[in-house]
A and B are shown apart, each in its own frame.
Chain A
Amino acid sequence: MTRKREIESPKEKQNRHKAMEAVAMLDKIRHDFSEPPKEMDYFYDLYERVYCKRESLHSKSVKVGTMCIQVPYEIIYALDAVPVRLCNGFYADDEIGSDLAPSKACPLVKATIGQFSSGNFSDKPDFVISPTTCDQKSKSGAIIEDMGYSMYDMEFPRTKESEESREYWRRSVRKFTKELSKNLGKKLKKSKLKRTIQKIGYAQYLYHQLNELRREPNPPIFGKDMFLVTNAFFFDKIDNWIEAVERLCEECKHRVKKEGKIHKNSPRVVYTGSPPVFPNLKIPLLIEQSDGIIVADETCSANRLFNDMVSVDEWFLYDMVDAIADRYLKGCTCPIFTKNYDRIRRITDLVKEYKAEGVVYQAFAGCQVYEMEQRSVLEAMEKEGIPILYLESDYSPSHLGQLTTRIEAFIESLKNRRRRR
């Protein structure tokens, strides 16, 4: 038999690796669970189009890449550009990034660097915004700028209680607005900014509507599907996303009422820690494959995107920009802050409101702030009598065995607790 094909270029190889990862994850999400909501098909299909077939969604728009959740989407949309969040979950890109960053760095950061170094995007950003949130993101911004990307460092404070930090961040957001408007050659208009605040507010409202259905004794949707929904907000066309979630909400309202449905006996779990980003949904998946169900989360790839809305006193331009700044700082529960009691409060509230029976805390190996905050969260949960499992993981697809065993044992212990009551 003779050889038949040309050897792939590095770009083709990277695309194949990523498509293989995406297909494998989508396969598990779709086939390992019974009866997902029908409207989830929109999202399954979206991920397949973007990550397996590399379809571009925003070919005609100016794209502003964001390196972290702290970049205000409202302002980007109001300047007629499209925000695309570039926090990356692909192991293939993590491997590429490992040659450029320390091997012990956070896999999400390495994967993001890896993708930039390959220059291989389905929607390539025209500008990139890097907030100086955690150390690794700040430094990776500089590494990426050296590769020739147009990069803007958006300064972010490390405390949020003081009036100084609030003012500092407000000035940073105003400066960002001015710079971006100059770069895009667009003037920020009052009416437009108001409309985008309302649009994103509506998206947040929809999320809350859907999320609240998860408080029911029989949650209508799996956590792994919710992560797909929230994750799609990173890159999808916002109007399509809103329509899809509207439909999903309607369907889930009916599902809740149906008797004898799937998840009544599954232990209810709150998920917190380093953000699961597609296709790195392995920990949420393992929880639900082990018969747990994630009813709520505290992560920047899901809940934190939607939890807090911009609250405006007066609809004047500068009031709106300041109100946006406040929402991004005050609502943030990222462990980069010196003290972070808000996060502990949020997790505790979620456990109570969603009647959760345990918490799973994941930290990426190399994400120092989540690793460091583990202790205070564990102590606080212990005080409240809430069982918590702490896991460290990376993007590598192998060695799932040990993680599986730990998660299964945790879910079993939650089941035993329920029985003893």
Chain B
Amino acid sequence: MHYFAGIDIGSTAIKIAIVDESGELIGDKISASGSMFYKYAKEALAELLSELDIAQESLVYTVATGYGRKLFKEANEKISEITANAIGARAAAKIEGAQEIKTIINIGGQDSKAISLDSEGNVVNFAMNDRCAAGTGKFLDVVALKLEIGVDELGEYHFKSQGTPLSINSTCAVFAESEIIGLLGNDYSIEDIVAGVHYSIARRIIKLVKRVGIKEGIYFDGGPALNMGLVNAIENELTKEIFIPKYPQITTAFGAAILASESYEYLEK
């Protein structure tokens, strides 16, 4: 049996997905990127293979993607995360029986993207945030830390918000943090602040989506897609339902793995 790996080395986490010859997801792993991308990525891959009981030789083709893709020398191929994300999203939606995907929203650790696809799954247009971490996963980390709650609790707080969500207007994560400190100083509830943060991220991401055009069949992935409060905010801003895959963090790695199997097949022919 041959196996194929997609390895997505992001700014915050390394995501690995392994598929078999039929393109089915066999296993996945998420670990922190830390300070040594290459070392941790290699270790994580070795661990995953041993967990799944797959011999090194059975892994015949690896595709790397994400910011750290160029560091991963063992990879047979390197592709941009935009292509990998598009392939992964369409495949995941198909497996889960969702509508065909035309638009992808991705929020990562240090960037956010909107990708527009045609009916064949080709990327027709995409937009990314400008050199700034506002409205990304890192921003949520900073907020949670300041509010002394866990990142995974943000969703709950969002739904407990009773008042008007508070406006966070700063475009910069550092200034936004000081805005939040100001709001705390005026005795606003953490719930309303959290809802405000989600809406500020949502409005920023909607601007990106508008740039590429909003087409129904909207897919949201990246770690922040686990935050149902943020999902709610984005849906409200779009006034449209969006599809969240079962494992939103590994979509891009899954896409890279599928591409690995396709490349291998093509080269073997």
Contact = CB atoms under 8 A, between A and B. Distances in A.
A20 B231 CA distance: 19
B150 to A, nearest CB: 13
Given A7-B241, A20-B196, A398 B165 contact: no
A23 to B, nearest CB: 5
- A-side binding surface: helix, strand, loop or mixed? helix
Interface in B120-171: 155-156, 159, 163-167, 169-171
Given A1-B155, A4-B228, A16-B236, A31 B166 contact: no
Contact of A5 (B159, B166, B171, B186): B159
Interface in B20-34: none
B235 interface: yes
Contacts of B240: 7
Nearest to B168: A24
Contacts of A2: 228
How many of chain B's residues touch chain A, expressed as a range? 20 to 34
A52 interface: yes
Interface in B155-203: 155-156, 159, 163-167, 169-171, 183, 186, 188, 196, 199
A20 B167 contact: yes
Interface string A1-45: 111110111101100100111111001000100000000000000
Contacts of B155: 1
A400 B175 CA distance: 12
A20 B166 contact: yes
Contacts of A23: 163-164, 166-167
B119 interface: no
Given A20-B196, A31-B186, A5 B232 contact: yes
Contact of A398 (B171, B232, B236, B237): B171
A185 interface: no
Given A3-B231, A397-B169, A27 B186 contact: yes
A3 B229 CA distance: 8
A16 B159 contact: no
Contact of A397 (B167, B228, B231, B237): B167
4 tightest A-B contacts by CB?
A24-B167, A8-B236, A19-B164, A397-B169
